[in-house]
Structure 1
Amino acid sequence: MSKTAVARPCLSALNGFAKRSAIAVFSLTSAVALGTVPTPVVAQTFVFNDVRIEGAQRIEPGTILSYAGIARGQTVSASELNDAFQNIQNSGLFESVEIVPQGSTLIIRVVEYPTINRIAIEGNRRIEDEDLEPLLQSQSRRVYSPSTAEADANLIAEAYIQQGRIAARVQPRLIRRSDNRVDLVFEVFEGGVAEVERIAFVGNQKFTDRRLRRVLETKQAGLLRAIITRDTFIADRIQFDRQLLEDFYSSRGYVDFRITGTNAELAAERDGYFVTFNVEEGQQFRFGDITVTSDLAEVDIAAFERAVSVRPGKVYAPQLVDRDIERLERRAVEEGLDFIRVEPRVTRNDRALTLDVEYVLTRGPRIFVERIDIEGNTTTLDRVVRRQFETVEGDPFNPREIRNAAERIRALGFFADAEVNAREGSTPQQVIVDVDVEEQPTGSISIGGSYSTSTGFGLNLSFSERNFIGRGQQLSLGLTTSEDSNRYSFNFVEPALLGRDLAFGIGLSYSNTERQNADYNTESGTFSPSLTFPISDNGRLQLRYTLEYTDLTLPDESDVGGIVTAEAGQGALYQSSIGYRFSYDTRRTGLDPDAGVLLEFGQDFGGVGGDTTFVRTNVRAVAQRLAFSEEVTLRAIFEGGALNYTGDEGSRVTDRFFLGSSLMRGFEPGGIGPRERGPGFDDALGGNYFAVARFEAEFPLGLPEEYGISGGMFYDVGSLWGLDDSDAATGEVLFEDGSLRQVVGLSLFWTTPLGPLRFNFSEALQREDEDKEQNFELTISTDF
């Protein structure tokens, strides 16, 4: 609504003044023409003995007079009357203002702005009212202000622009009501989404456009643009992408990399953007000489040199330097040296393309942490945030540790935003650490269907909470059903038992199958508490206890061999075991962006009560590397297992290993390994031992990456063998001694909103005649 202002500083009196001014101008012109001296013109002035206010209802007359600045009996010029009008009009309280001199009386007529009866937003479908209303400054039962309403309209439009709807328009409208009241309505025209049609790079030589686009948070519009929102153009996201690009290059040794410009060109139809990043890559640098020096007598240089992990020749990355600084500062604490600071001094060698790093140990200022203040956490307990700090009140202040704690707080995933800052405390020798967080939802409920080529259609229900009752605990419940199986699960994890880096977990599960890829039924339940804790930067150790109940039954009209029949005759059994698992995962630190290694080794020892005595061993090793300008992912995986029973009872089909598609592709579940075959039955028995090696590559197919489709190829080789006792066999036992199987295949990866899908097409190079092949498989693609 535009403001209407009627200004009449002088009506009749000023008209007379205007006439006299015109006569004076005429006289002045005549005097000049005749060459005579003109008579001086005197500006008209007014003196008002009375000031009358008309039209004011809510605003006191004294308030209006204070804006006018005119006192009774004061001599006022015409310009001062105009200033009084402007002051009253600019107060923002009146829809119109009129000043009328009448003799010795000054009349000020005003029309007050109406009161807002109600506020409504119409035409908005993409953003709900409850999300837009907090943005508004206009409020019900307050005086309407056109400038405020216009600002509110701009804020609503900005909310749509943040969603990529740059054509959004918002118009404030008034609906008049009685008693000088109005309804304020914001009419919204949302417009369409401005998508990112194309992302291009200029100046990149080391990495292709395709590889760099994978780094960015913004994506190009693709087939599923109605579902995927990361292809919407948002200016703030482009700025974040600039930082992602810089981090990508710096972690790979390109210390001179810089972005010289970013252009976002709007299409003529105003429905899409073409984004271009202009970059200068520079040369890749590696580490040169690495030394540790200090002028402090109490510092043992040799001890600190052993704490440095980076070696000359490795590709330079700031993260590696930061990692070594942390190790050196930690070593200083272990040596009982307080306030030690590590300053990295980098010397550049352009000829050799190396960077020499000198870690200088100095004594920093004696500053202590006075206290840690936490704000913004309405659900999360203070101790969940506080335990992310290795520093407590009274400890020496270490800025690097505070920054690391901030990163750990953000990594929790409990907060939409987390800011950690230090300020001076009660004395210059003390600091106060302020933690300001903004919480976000941490729970989820999932209801969906699934399909597997081995188990058919199924229903999945799950509930998970990552911050249970604000304690940072993880809780999950799950139900999975298919045509011939059901599984129920409960998991709980306390990540900081007794306030330490010690995770306590409890797992409960129950499952049953009815002739699932077999001619028998199974029932099992598991209870397993565990403790997991770090033993090195990349290593973790888990100690666990497992109590398992298993039952194997034969349905009516079941045709099975003697081995399964004998095992079913043992009835329900309880297995009680203690075990451990060691894992070494370089992805925890992520210091090598091109490669990652995962090693796992675990054993369970049965016989701590229960009905059986056994040793179960599992090993897994995974290595992954990015090659060919990081366009191709190469991966090698080895997995093996051994099951040894030492008591009177041997292993059963419910205990032994089976090579499903997750271990070896190209065969049906139970399609390879020991089996008993006879008239009317063919029982897959599983094996006590298995070993599988898988090699695969994932690569682009040349399609636009916004389609989310890439290709792959794989080669699997492995075997499954070993039975405790085959004397109960009533048919022929095959492959107990094992034989190699080899499979090659092609994969198609498709990233969809439902999850990353993987289509496998395989062909066995080496197999046995009785094996059951599976040449096609649809699964969920997972990372190692």
Structure 2
Amino acid sequence: MHDTAGAAAKASRDGASVRKRLLTVLFLSTATASATVFMPAFAQQYAFNQVVIEGNQLVDNATILGFAGIRRGETLTQGGLNDAYQGLVRSGLFETVEIVPQGNQLVIRVKEYPIVNVINFEGNKRLKDEDLAKIIQSKQRRVYSPSVAEADAAAIAEAYQARGRIAATVTPKLIRRSGGRVDLAFEITEGRVTEIERLSFVGNRAFSDRRLRQVLQTKQAGLLRTLIQRDTFVAERLEVDKQMLRDFYLARGYIDIQVTDASAEVARERDAVFVSFSIREGRQYRFGNITTTSEVNGVDAAEYGALSRVRSGVPYSPLVVENTIARMENLALRKGLNFVRVDPRITRNDRDGTLDLEFALVRGDRVFVERIDIEGNTTTLDQVIRRQFRSAEGDPFNPREVRQSAERIRALGFFSDAQVDARPGSAADQVIVDVNVEEQPTGSLSFGASYGADAGVGVNIGFAESNFLGRGQALSVAIATGSDSTSSSLSITEPAFLGRDLSLSLGAFYNITDQKNAIYDTANVGARAALSFPVGEVSRLELRYGLSKNTIKNYQGKDVNGDGVIDPATERNPTLVAESARDGEFTSAIGYTYSYDTRIGGLSPDRGMVFRFSQDFAGLGGDAKYISSEVQALGERKILSEEVTLRAIFEAGTISPLGGYGTRVTERFFGNGKIRGFEGNGIGPRDQVTGDALGGNFYAVARFEADFPIGLPEEYGLSGGLFMDVGSVWGLKGNIVDALGAPIDTGFNPRAAVGVSVLWDAPIGPLRFNFSKALKKEDYDKERSFDLTISTQF
């Protein structure tokens, strides 16, 4: 038993020893294998006496070694060889790269990319080949690069997306030629224009979707979607639209306005986009108590407070506040107080929805403008940009003035982008103002056709350049022809004459009519010069001089009795006979125009007032001697959430002969187009025998209009209107008789007409279709129940 147990124990110990030896062998084997597999690459080193390069035809050996970063005799690790490989790949010159160590020799085998022989664009219709060639980086007779070609394809697709074709696809294709050359073709599928099918708003309560769409640059696709470009989807435009919405609400007192999102959902077919703006309006605030205080010794707050145009009870407007601050700070500068600033302090009263505003005059930091640096202008002269600043180098620095200068630069219309920023200068009290601009085309050549009930069908040719020779001058040449008239004009305007806010305009004109609304011809040729300058924040004065020659000719009269012969004694008006016999008379006149327009300052975005008064004094030499005066006034207001516009317009004029001078038909008033419902030359004194309109020395017209939506989608650009016109043309001196010697009625006989209008914001311009009915008229007046005009702002 003992021996048996001992033998068993010994066998057990021997088995354990064997198992232990087996595990040790297995562990060592595994460890060896692991060391072989996971040994770091840099553990092995290579030393080469020779580097052999194979496969290169165009790229020389030295260039290849330079990209690889290898020198003969250099000892390299496996990592160094990998770096050499990556350097050759990154060069973009080789289609394949292989590095093979062979003893003391290193072999580099490369396959070069081919040379681009020809670059073609296939499938493009909307963008020309020459335009696409400017976008891509691939060039003919250069090495082909797949990464560059892919980047080119993406750039072309982006160009189409900027034009509203987000479904456009571009695929680069290679056509291999002999001699290591390839043709590179970009296959383009343009796709359809991705239009904005719907513009909607979420969260707006104070203003309708229709009103807010009018604020945006982006428009919905409408009837003329093939002509209107603003209905195509451009993602970058959404940020501009968001800011325009904020500005719109802020100008109307919604100080808490937030445009939280502008989302664009693309239709499945990728041919339409649905854009939605999310808005948090908040409540409308109005100005409360307005005060002016001074924290500067010796500065009278009352004197500055008198300049305030802010009124309690009206909706808050940041523009009104900015304009008031500018007036106060300008007064401080005129008094020599260089570092006085106006700090607007606003106290919010949520209970009654008002904002108490305090204009505090404080002492600002003593900081000066070191210099103004202008970059980006290749055509526009520096002085054109520099004169938009009210301060120059060495003047006190005013941040508000810099912001206003930036707005003035953008308002020039010469630049697609203009950024004005301030940065620290060479000293703590110095600031450098940087101006970076991106120029855009400023000239236009136009060809067009026109139609008017009086002028008929016409052809218009014009050239306009708002930045002539980069000097900021405006040049205009225009020729217009109608069925019975031709007019041509040339003008050039210098907006900053003598480096001041003084506009100098020089012009010449030549107009002829051939029986236009009359049975005589006229010719008018002349030149004029004018100086215009501001006399107030929203007012301006123009001084002018004009010299012209006016001719009435070819007055034959009218064959009243139909016998084929015009009897000079009974079928011609004596007044026109006498005036046409005076041949061409020269008119030398000086004049002025005073204009006041509250719309310039934007003080009240929902209302506006315009007033103009002008006079011309003829007799400074020449033949004509008279004083001509005209007054025009307009009041406009938007109601019902600014959906409806009410407008009242008053115009009147008088021409007073001097020294026995008799006015001529070319100088008197006819009220053309001022009273709807009547033809041109359709009202006023008239020879009832021949039908000749004689005009009058006086006219007065009052027009009342209402423009409103008619329920159609806003993108169609159609709206409606109602109007009522009342007025008259009257007054002639002397013995005014008709062809038979009977007196002609020259008295004040008021006319009145009412009607409806259809307004269309067409691609060629705003058109107005008027359907009129004369309520009060004279038997000899000539009516017109329909006319088509181009709407113009007063």
The normalised TM-score by structure 1 is 0.91
Deviation at 1:52, TM superposition (A): 3.8
Residue matched to 1:365: 365
Matches within 5 A, 1:165-184: 165-184=165-184
Distance 1:701 1:236, change over 3 A: same
**Bigger Cα displacement from structure 2, 696-705 vs 38-47:** 38-47
Is the partner of 1:389 in helix, strand or coil?
coil
Q: Deviations over 1:572-609 (max 9, x none)?
A: 22222222111101111112110111100111122222
1:151 and 2:144 correspond: no
2: CA distance, partners of 1:325 / 1:502: 24
Is the partner of 1:211 in helix, strand or coil?
helix
Q: Contact 2:319 / 2:602 at 8 angstroms: preserved in 1?
A: no
Q: Contact 2:219 / 2:231 at 8 angstroms: preserved in 1?
A: yes
Distance 1:108 1:491, change over 3 A: closer
Residue matched to 2:114: 114
Q: 2:661 aligns with which of 649, 652, 655?
A: 649
Distance 1:312 1:108, change over 3 A: same
Matches within 5 A, 1:689-700: 689-700=698-709
Is the partner of 1:565 in helix, strand or coil?
helix
1:747 and 2:771 correspond: no
1:778 and 2:788 correspond: yes
Residue matched to 2:742: 732
2: CA distance, partners of 1:33 / 1:352: 91
Residue matched to 1:43: 36
Residue identity in the other structure for 1:287? F
Matches within 5 A, 1:585-596: 585-596=597-608
1:723 and 2:718 correspond: no
Deviation at 1:534, TM superposition (A): 0.7
Q: 2:684 aligns with which of 673, 682, 689?
A: 673
Q: Contact 1:759 / 1:776 at 8 angstroms: preserved in 2?
A: yes
Is the partner of 2:513 in helix, strand or coil?
strand
Residue matched to 1:683: 692
**Bigger Cα displacement from structure 2, 417-426 vs 327-336:** 417-426
Matches within 5 A, 1:61-460: 63-64=64-65, 67=68, 88-89=88-89, 92-100=92-100, 102=102, 105-460=105-460
Q: Contact 1:307 / 1:331 at 8 angstroms: preserved in 2?
A: no
Residue identity in the other structure for 1:632? V
Q: Deviations over 1:660-719 (max 9, x none)?
A: 12x1110011211111223xx122111111110000111111111111111111000011
Deviation at 1:537, TM superposition (A): 0.5
Q: Deviations over 1:113-166 (max 9, x none)?
A: 233344443332222334333333333444332222212221121111111111
Q: Deviations over 1:285-326 (max 9, x none)?
A: 001112222322132212121122212112101111111111
Residue matched to 2:14: none
**Bigger Cα displacement from structure 2, 63-72 vs 534-543:** 63-72
Deviation at 1:99, TM superposition (A): 4.1
Q: 1:568 aligns with which of 563, 580, 583?
A: 580
1:60 and 2:68 correspond: no
Q: Deviations over 1:2-24 (max 9, x none)?
A: xxxxxxxxxxxxxxxxxxxxxxx
**Bigger Cα displacement from structure 2, 738-747 vs 369-378:** 369-378
2: CA distance, partners of 1:557 / 1:622: 40
Q: 1:611 aligns with which of 623, 633, 636?
A: 623
**Bigger Cα displacement from structure 2, 488-497 vs 725-734:** 725-734
Residue matched to 1:768: 778
2: CA distance, partners of 1:82 / 1:387: 60
Distance 1:691 1:65, change over 3 A: closer
Residue matched to 2:715: 706
Residue identity in the other structure for 1:540? R
Residue identity in the other structure for 2:621? G
Q: Contact 1:519 / 1:560 at 8 angstroms: preserved in 2?
A: no
2: CA distance, partners of 1:574 / 1:36: 121
Instruction: For structure 1, list consecutive stretches of 5 or more residues without a partner in the other structure.
Output: 1-27
Residue identity in the other structure for 1:467? N
Q: Contact 1:560 / 1:682 at 8 angstroms: preserved in 2?
A: no
**Bigger Cα displacement from structure 2, 738-747 vs 144-153:** 144-153
2: CA distance, partners of 1:105 / 1:567: 110
Residue matched to 2:9: none
Deviation at 1:546, TM superposition (A): 2.4
- The size of the alignment, in residue pairs, is 752
Residue identity in the other structure for 1:706? E
Q: Contact 1:514 / 1:520 at 8 angstroms: preserved in 2?
A: yes
Residue matched to 2:15: none
Is the partner of 1:193 in helix, strand or coil?
coil
2: CA distance, partners of 1:85 / 1:609: 91
Q: Contact 1:461 / 1:480 at 8 angstroms: preserved in 2?
A: yes
Residue identity in the other structure for 2:716? Y
Is the partner of 2:131 in helix, strand or coil?
helix
Distance 1:36 1:322, change over 3 A: closer
Residue matched to 1:505: 505
Deviation at 1:64, TM superposition (A): 4.6
Deviation at 1:82, TM superposition (A): 6.5
Deviation at 1:212, TM superposition (A): 0.5
Deviation at 1:554, TM superposition (A): 3.8
Q: 2:593 aligns with which of 581, 584, 597?
A: 581
Deviation at 1:741, TM superposition (A): 0.8
2: CA distance, partners of 1:82 / 1:250: 61
Residue identity in the other structure for 1:546? G
Deviation at 1:47, TM superposition (A): 6.2
Distance 1:369 1:47, change over 3 A: closer
Q: Contact 1:561 / 1:677 at 8 angstroms: preserved in 2?
A: no
Is the partner of 2:36 in helix, strand or coil?
coil
Distance 1:66 1:675, change over 3 A: closer
**Bigger Cα displacement from structure 2, 174-183 vs 714-723:** 174-183
2: CA distance, partners of 1:615 / 1:452: 31
Deviation at 1:755, TM superposition (A): 1.4
Residue matched to 1:18: none
Distance 1:38 1:439, change over 3 A: closer
Instruction: For structure 2, list consecutive stretches of 5 or more residues without a partner in the other structure.
Output: 1-18, 38-42, 559-570
Residue identity in the other structure for 2:202? V
Is the partner of 1:436 in helix, strand or coil?
strand
Q: Contact 1:166 / 1:193 at 8 angstroms: preserved in 2?
A: yes
